[in-house]
Structure 1
Amino acid sequence: MEQKHTISILVYDQPGVLTRVANLMGQRGFNIDSITVGQSEEKGISRMVIVTRGDEPTLEQMIKQFHKLIDVLKVTHLSSGSMVSRELVLVKVEANSATRAEINGIIEPFRATIVDVSPSSLVIQATGDSDKIDALIELLSTYGIKELSRTGATAISRGAAAVKV
Protein backbone atom coordinates (compact mmCIF):
# COMPACT_ATOMS: atom_id res chain seq x y z
CA MET A 1 0.00 0.00 0.00
CA GLU A 2 1.37 3.39 -1.02
CA GLN A 3 1.95 5.81 1.87
CA LYS A 4 3.35 9.30 2.33
CA HIS A 5 6.87 9.31 3.79
CA THR A 6 8.99 12.14 5.21
CA ILE A 7 12.72 11.52 5.05
CA SER A 8 15.48 13.68 6.56
CA ILE A 9 18.91 13.48 4.95
CA LEU A 10 22.00 15.11 6.43
CA VAL A 11 24.51 15.93 3.68
CA TYR A 12 27.75 17.81 3.28
CA ASP A 13 27.04 21.36 2.14
CA GLN A 14 28.65 20.94 -1.31
CA PRO A 15 27.68 22.11 -4.80
CA GLY A 16 25.72 19.45 -6.71
CA VAL A 17 24.44 17.42 -3.73
CA LEU A 18 20.80 18.41 -4.33
CA THR A 19 21.16 17.49 -8.01
CA ARG A 20 22.62 14.08 -7.16
CA VAL A 21 19.80 13.30 -4.70
CA ALA A 22 17.09 14.46 -7.12
CA ASN A 23 18.68 12.57 -10.03
CA LEU A 24 18.93 9.39 -7.96
CA MET A 25 15.22 9.57 -7.20
CA GLY A 26 14.27 10.37 -10.80
CA GLN A 27 16.41 7.61 -12.30
CA ARG A 28 14.80 5.05 -10.01
CA GLY A 29 11.26 6.29 -10.66
CA PHE A 30 10.69 7.77 -7.19
CA ASN A 31 8.50 10.88 -7.21
CA ILE A 32 9.25 13.88 -4.97
CA ASP A 33 6.13 15.52 -3.48
CA SER A 34 8.26 18.22 -1.86
CA ILE A 35 11.90 18.87 -1.01
CA THR A 36 13.38 21.52 1.25
CA VAL A 37 17.07 22.11 1.90
CA GLY A 38 18.78 24.36 4.41
CA GLN A 39 21.40 24.72 7.09
CA SER A 40 21.48 22.20 9.89
CA GLU A 41 22.71 22.63 13.44
CA GLU A 42 26.28 21.86 12.33
CA LYS A 43 28.41 24.13 10.16
CA GLY A 44 29.06 22.67 6.72
CA ILE A 45 26.15 20.23 6.91
CA SER A 46 22.73 20.75 5.31
CA ARG A 47 19.46 19.01 6.05
CA MET A 48 17.21 17.88 3.20
CA VAL A 49 13.62 17.00 3.98
CA ILE A 50 11.95 14.99 1.24
CA VAL A 51 8.29 14.04 1.14
CA THR A 52 7.54 11.14 -1.19
CA ARG A 53 5.05 8.31 -1.62
CA GLY A 54 5.55 4.59 -1.89
CA ASP A 55 5.13 1.22 -0.26
CA GLU A 56 7.56 -0.21 2.33
CA PRO A 57 9.82 -2.05 -0.17
CA THR A 58 10.09 1.10 -2.29
CA LEU A 59 10.97 3.18 0.78
CA GLU A 60 13.62 0.68 1.89
CA GLN A 61 15.16 0.72 -1.60
CA MET A 62 15.16 4.53 -1.63
CA ILE A 63 16.94 4.74 1.74
CA LYS A 64 19.56 2.19 0.62
CA GLN A 65 20.19 4.27 -2.50
CA PHE A 66 20.62 7.47 -0.45
CA HIS A 67 23.24 5.76 1.73
CA LYS A 68 25.28 4.99 -1.40
CA LEU A 69 25.74 8.69 -2.20
CA ILE A 70 29.15 9.92 -1.00
CA ASP A 71 27.85 13.26 0.37
CA VAL A 72 25.13 11.65 2.52
CA LEU A 73 25.92 11.38 6.22
CA LYS A 74 22.64 10.18 7.72
CA VAL A 75 19.17 9.22 6.51
CA THR A 76 16.21 9.28 8.91
CA HIS A 77 12.69 8.12 8.12
CA LEU A 78 10.92 10.81 10.18
CA SER A 79 7.37 9.68 9.49
CA SER A 80 8.10 6.29 11.09
CA GLY A 81 8.15 8.05 14.47
CA SER A 82 6.84 11.20 16.07
CA MET A 83 7.70 14.37 14.14
CA VAL A 84 6.83 18.03 13.71
CA SER A 85 6.19 19.07 10.11
CA ARG A 86 5.39 22.54 8.77
CA GLU A 87 4.93 24.34 5.47
CA LEU A 88 4.86 28.01 4.58
CA VAL A 89 2.46 29.39 1.97
CA LEU A 90 2.03 32.83 0.46
CA VAL A 91 -1.31 33.35 -1.31
CA LYS A 92 -2.29 36.43 -3.29
CA VAL A 93 -6.09 36.66 -3.47
CA GLU A 94 -8.37 39.10 -5.19
CA ALA A 95 -9.82 41.44 -2.58
CA ASN A 96 -11.67 44.72 -2.57
CA SER A 97 -12.90 46.83 0.31
CA ALA A 98 -16.11 44.74 0.49
CA THR A 99 -14.36 41.36 0.79
CA ARG A 100 -11.36 42.24 3.01
CA ALA A 101 -13.19 41.78 6.33
CA GLU A 102 -14.67 38.50 5.11
CA ILE A 103 -11.23 37.19 4.09
CA ASN A 104 -9.78 38.33 7.42
CA GLY A 105 -12.45 36.29 9.20
CA ILE A 106 -11.55 33.21 7.16
CA ILE A 107 -7.79 33.40 7.79
CA GLU A 108 -8.01 34.18 11.53
CA PRO A 109 -8.69 30.59 12.71
CA PHE A 110 -5.69 29.46 10.64
CA ARG A 111 -3.46 32.00 12.44
CA ALA A 112 -2.59 33.34 9.01
CA THR A 113 -1.57 36.96 8.53
CA ILE A 114 -1.95 39.56 5.82
CA VAL A 115 1.55 40.60 4.75
CA ASP A 116 0.73 42.88 1.80
CA VAL A 117 -2.25 44.96 0.76
CA SER A 118 -3.01 46.56 -2.59
CA PRO A 119 -6.24 48.12 -3.90
CA SER A 120 -7.26 44.85 -5.59
CA SER A 121 -5.50 42.08 -3.64
CA LEU A 122 -4.14 40.76 -0.36
CA VAL A 123 -1.10 38.56 0.23
CA ILE A 124 -1.68 36.09 3.03
CA GLN A 125 1.02 34.14 4.85
CA ALA A 126 0.33 30.92 6.73
CA THR A 127 2.33 28.12 8.29
CA GLY A 128 1.17 24.70 9.40
CA ASP A 129 0.94 21.10 8.38
CA SER A 130 0.01 20.21 4.80
CA ASP A 131 -3.65 19.51 5.61
CA LYS A 132 -4.06 22.94 7.24
CA ILE A 133 -2.46 24.67 4.24
CA ASP A 134 -4.69 22.69 1.83
CA ALA A 135 -7.81 23.70 3.78
CA LEU A 136 -6.86 27.39 3.78
CA ILE A 137 -6.15 27.37 0.04
CA GLU A 138 -9.51 25.71 -0.63
CA LEU A 139 -11.36 28.39 1.36
CA LEU A 140 -9.45 31.23 -0.30
CA SER A 141 -10.00 29.83 -3.81
CA THR A 142 -13.58 31.16 -3.82
CA TYR A 143 -12.14 34.71 -3.80
CA GLY A 144 -9.86 34.09 -6.75
CA ILE A 145 -6.24 33.10 -6.18
CA LYS A 146 -3.95 35.27 -8.32
CA GLU A 147 -0.67 33.69 -7.19
CA LEU A 148 0.38 30.93 -4.82
CA SER A 149 3.84 29.98 -3.54
CA ARG A 150 4.30 27.00 -1.25
CA THR A 151 7.57 25.89 0.35
CA GLY A 152 6.89 22.21 0.78
CA ALA A 153 7.29 20.47 4.12
CA THR A 154 10.19 20.77 6.49
CA ALA A 155 10.26 18.45 9.46
CA ILE A 156 12.16 17.41 12.55
CA SER A 157 11.77 14.56 15.04
CA ARG A 158 9.91 15.20 18.29
CA GLY A 159 11.47 14.78 21.68
CA ALA A 160 14.61 15.76 23.52
CA ALA A 161 17.13 13.56 21.70
CA ALA A 162 18.87 15.15 18.75
CA VAL A 163 19.97 13.05 15.80
CA LYS A 164 23.78 13.30 15.75
CA VAL A 165 26.00 12.63 12.79
Structure 2
Amino acid sequence: MTSTKHTLSVLVENKPGVLARISALFSRRGFNIDSLAVGPTEHPEISRMTVVVDVDLLPLEQVTKQLNKLVEVLKVVELDPLASVTSQVVLVKVRAEANNRSGILETAQMFKAKIVDTTPDAMTLQVYGNSDKISAMLEILQPYGIKELVQSGVVAIGRGPRSITDRSRH
Protein backbone atom coordinates (compact mmCIF):
# COMPACT_ATOMS: atom_id res chain seq x y z
CA MET A 1 0.00 0.00 0.00
CA THR A 2 1.47 3.33 -1.03
CA SER A 3 1.11 6.46 1.05
CA THR A 4 -0.35 9.65 -0.36
CA LYS A 5 -1.14 13.13 0.85
CA HIS A 6 -4.53 13.60 2.47
CA THR A 7 -6.13 16.90 3.38
CA LEU A 8 -8.33 16.86 6.48
CA SER A 9 -10.64 19.67 7.45
CA VAL A 10 -11.29 19.51 11.18
CA LEU A 11 -13.87 21.68 12.94
CA VAL A 12 -12.99 22.20 16.60
CA GLU A 13 -14.14 24.25 19.55
CA ASN A 14 -12.17 27.48 19.66
CA LYS A 15 -10.51 26.79 23.04
CA PRO A 16 -6.94 26.79 24.38
CA GLY A 17 -5.05 23.50 24.10
CA VAL A 18 -7.10 21.98 21.27
CA LEU A 19 -4.31 22.39 18.70
CA ALA A 20 -1.81 20.71 21.04
CA ARG A 21 -4.12 17.74 21.67
CA ILE A 22 -4.79 17.21 17.98
CA SER A 23 -1.17 17.52 16.86
CA ALA A 24 -0.16 15.15 19.71
CA LEU A 25 -2.60 12.56 18.36
CA PHE A 26 -0.84 12.62 14.96
CA SER A 27 2.55 12.51 16.67
CA ARG A 28 1.64 9.47 18.79
CA ARG A 29 0.70 7.64 15.59
CA GLY A 30 4.08 8.54 14.06
CA PHE A 31 2.57 10.75 11.35
CA ASN A 32 4.42 13.80 10.19
CA ILE A 33 2.11 16.73 9.50
CA ASP A 34 3.13 18.24 6.13
CA SER A 35 1.01 21.34 6.64
CA LEU A 36 -1.18 22.75 9.38
CA ALA A 37 -3.32 25.88 9.28
CA VAL A 38 -5.74 26.95 12.00
CA GLY A 39 -8.11 29.86 12.22
CA PRO A 40 -11.57 30.91 13.30
CA THR A 41 -14.55 30.20 11.06
CA GLU A 42 -17.63 32.32 10.40
CA HIS A 43 -18.73 31.13 13.87
CA PRO A 44 -16.36 32.69 16.48
CA GLU A 45 -16.70 29.71 18.83
CA ILE A 46 -15.48 27.29 16.11
CA SER A 47 -12.03 27.03 14.56
CA ARG A 48 -11.12 25.13 11.43
CA MET A 49 -7.91 23.17 11.13
CA THR A 50 -6.62 22.14 7.73
CA VAL A 51 -4.15 19.29 8.17
CA VAL A 52 -2.17 17.74 5.32
CA VAL A 53 -0.58 14.38 6.12
CA ASP A 54 1.23 11.79 3.98
CA VAL A 55 -0.09 8.40 5.14
CA ASP A 56 -1.69 5.16 4.01
CA LEU A 57 -5.48 5.17 3.86
CA LEU A 58 -6.08 2.68 6.71
CA PRO A 59 -3.92 4.42 9.34
CA LEU A 60 -5.58 7.68 8.31
CA GLU A 61 -8.98 6.12 8.98
CA GLN A 62 -7.79 5.12 12.47
CA VAL A 63 -6.60 8.67 13.20
CA THR A 64 -9.87 10.11 11.90
CA LYS A 65 -11.81 7.86 14.27
CA GLN A 66 -9.58 8.93 17.18
CA LEU A 67 -10.00 12.60 16.25
CA ASN A 68 -13.77 12.19 16.30
CA LYS A 69 -13.52 10.83 19.88
CA LEU A 70 -11.94 14.06 21.16
CA VAL A 71 -14.56 16.17 22.94
CA GLU A 72 -13.46 19.41 21.26
CA VAL A 73 -13.64 17.96 17.74
CA LEU A 74 -16.98 18.74 16.10
CA LYS A 75 -16.40 17.29 12.63
CA VAL A 76 -13.65 15.69 10.52
CA VAL A 77 -13.85 15.64 6.72
CA GLU A 78 -11.26 14.41 4.24
CA LEU A 79 -11.31 16.77 1.28
CA ASP A 80 -11.18 15.21 -2.19
CA PRO A 81 -8.48 17.04 -4.20
CA LEU A 82 -10.79 17.19 -7.24
CA ALA A 83 -13.72 18.56 -5.23
CA SER A 84 -11.85 21.19 -3.22
CA VAL A 85 -9.80 24.34 -3.61
CA THR A 86 -6.47 24.70 -1.81
CA SER A 87 -4.21 27.68 -1.33
CA GLN A 88 -1.21 28.86 0.64
CA VAL A 89 0.97 31.92 0.81
CA VAL A 90 4.74 31.93 0.36
CA LEU A 91 7.31 34.64 0.99
CA VAL A 92 10.59 33.97 -0.81
CA LYS A 93 13.72 36.11 -0.62
CA VAL A 94 15.87 35.77 -3.73
CA ARG A 95 19.41 36.99 -4.43
CA ALA A 96 18.85 39.85 -6.88
CA GLU A 97 21.69 41.75 -8.46
CA ALA A 98 21.43 44.27 -11.30
CA ASN A 99 22.04 41.60 -13.96
CA ASN A 100 19.23 39.23 -12.88
CA ARG A 101 16.45 41.51 -11.60
CA SER A 102 14.55 41.49 -14.89
CA GLY A 103 14.35 37.67 -14.83
CA ILE A 104 13.02 37.73 -11.29
CA LEU A 105 10.46 40.40 -12.21
CA GLU A 106 9.33 38.33 -15.23
CA THR A 107 8.95 35.27 -12.99
CA ALA A 108 6.94 37.31 -10.48
CA GLN A 109 4.66 38.57 -13.25
CA MET A 110 4.21 35.08 -14.73
CA PHE A 111 3.06 33.67 -11.34
CA LYS A 112 1.14 36.81 -10.28
CA ALA A 113 3.55 37.21 -7.37
CA LYS A 114 3.94 40.55 -5.65
CA ILE A 115 7.31 42.14 -4.89
CA VAL A 116 6.99 43.07 -1.20
CA ASP A 117 10.58 44.13 -0.46
CA THR A 118 13.60 45.16 -2.50
CA THR A 119 17.17 45.90 -1.47
CA PRO A 120 20.28 46.36 -3.63
CA ASP A 121 21.07 42.63 -3.41
CA ALA A 122 17.74 40.86 -2.71
CA MET A 123 14.05 40.82 -3.60
CA THR A 124 11.22 39.31 -1.57
CA LEU A 125 8.22 37.95 -3.45
CA GLN A 126 4.82 37.04 -2.06
CA VAL A 127 2.72 34.50 -3.95
CA TYR A 128 -0.61 32.82 -3.28
CA GLY A 129 -1.74 29.59 -4.85
CA ASN A 130 -1.89 25.83 -4.77
CA SER A 131 1.13 23.62 -4.14
CA ASP A 132 1.78 23.01 -7.84
CA LYS A 133 1.94 26.74 -8.61
CA ILE A 134 4.22 27.40 -5.63
CA SER A 135 6.56 24.52 -6.56
CA ALA A 136 6.79 25.65 -10.18
CA MET A 137 7.69 29.21 -9.17
CA LEU A 138 10.31 28.07 -6.65
CA GLU A 139 11.89 25.82 -9.26
CA ILE A 140 12.31 28.78 -11.61
CA LEU A 141 13.66 31.01 -8.82
CA GLN A 142 16.14 28.39 -7.56
CA PRO A 143 18.96 29.30 -10.00
CA TYR A 144 18.85 32.93 -8.81
CA GLY A 145 19.63 31.79 -5.28
CA ILE A 146 16.86 31.47 -2.71
CA LYS A 147 18.12 33.15 0.46
CA GLU A 148 15.07 32.54 2.64
CA LEU A 149 11.66 30.92 2.34
CA VAL A 150 8.58 30.87 4.55
CA GLN A 151 5.27 29.16 3.76
CA SER A 152 1.90 29.27 5.43
CA GLY A 153 0.00 26.08 5.91
CA VAL A 154 -2.39 24.92 3.22
CA VAL A 155 -5.98 26.07 3.59
CA ALA A 156 -8.68 24.16 1.75
CA ILE A 157 -12.41 24.36 1.17
CA GLY A 158 -14.84 22.11 -0.66
CA ARG A 159 -16.20 23.26 -4.00
CA GLY A 160 -19.88 24.05 -4.42
CA PRO A 161 -22.58 25.40 -2.11
CA ARG A 162 -22.24 22.93 0.79
CA SER A 163 -20.39 23.99 3.93
CA ILE A 164 -18.96 21.71 6.59
CA THR A 165 -19.78 24.38 9.16
CA ASP A 166 -23.52 24.16 8.52
CA ARG A 167 -24.98 23.80 12.01
CA SER A 168 -27.43 21.16 10.78
CA ARG A 169 -24.53 18.82 9.95
CA HIS A 170 -22.94 18.55 13.45
Give secondary structure in 1 for the equivalent of 2:80: helix
Question: Gapped runs of 5+ residues in structure 2?
Answer: none
Normalized against structure 1, the TM-score is what?
0.95
Q: 1:59: how far off?
A: 1.5
Give 1:158's aligned residue.
159
Give 1:29's aligned residue.
30
Q: 1:152: how far off?
A: 2.1
Give secondary structure in 2 for the equivalent of 1:89: strand
Within a 5 Å distance, the mapping from 1:118-133 to structure 2 comes to: 118-133=119-134
Aligned-residue CA RMSD in angstroms?
1.2
Distance 1:38 1:123, change over 3 A: same
Within a 5 Å distance, the mapping from 1:68-79 to structure 2 comes to: 68-79=69-80
Q: Quick one: which amino acid aligns to residue 61 of structure 1?
A: Q
Distance 1:144 1:80, change over 3 A: closer
Q: 1:136: how far off?
A: 0.9
Q: Retained in 2: the 8 A contact 1:81–1:157?
A: no
Q: Retained in 2: the 8 A contact 1:7–1:79?
A: no
Give 2:41's aligned residue.
40
Q: Quick one: which amino acid aligns to residue 82 of structure 1?
A: A
Is 1:12 aligned to residue 13 of structure 2? Answer: yes
Is 1:115 aligned to residue 116 of structure 2? Answer: yes
Distance 1:80 1:132, change over 3 A: closer
Give 2:61's aligned residue.
60
Distance of 2:81 and 2:99 partners within structure 1: 47
Give secondary structure in 2 for the equivalent of 1:90: strand
Give secondary structure in 2 for the equivalent of 1:21: helix
Normalized against structure 2, the TM-score is what?
0.93
Distance of 1:117 and 1:43 partners within structure 2: 38
Give 1:137's aligned residue.
138
Distance of 2:7 and 2:135 partners within structure 1: 18
Give 1:96's aligned residue.
97
Q: 1:97: how far off?
A: 2.2
Q: 1:68: how far off?
A: 1.1
1:100-131 deviation per Cα after TM superposition (whole angstroms, max 9, x unaligned)? 11111122121111111111110000111111
Give secondary structure in 1 for the equivalent of 2:15: coil
Q: Percent identity over the alignment?
A: 45
Q: Which runs of 4+ in 1 moved over 6 A?
A: none
Give 2:85's aligned residue.
84
Give 2:52's aligned residue.
51
Give secondary structure in 2 for the equivalent of 1:63: helix
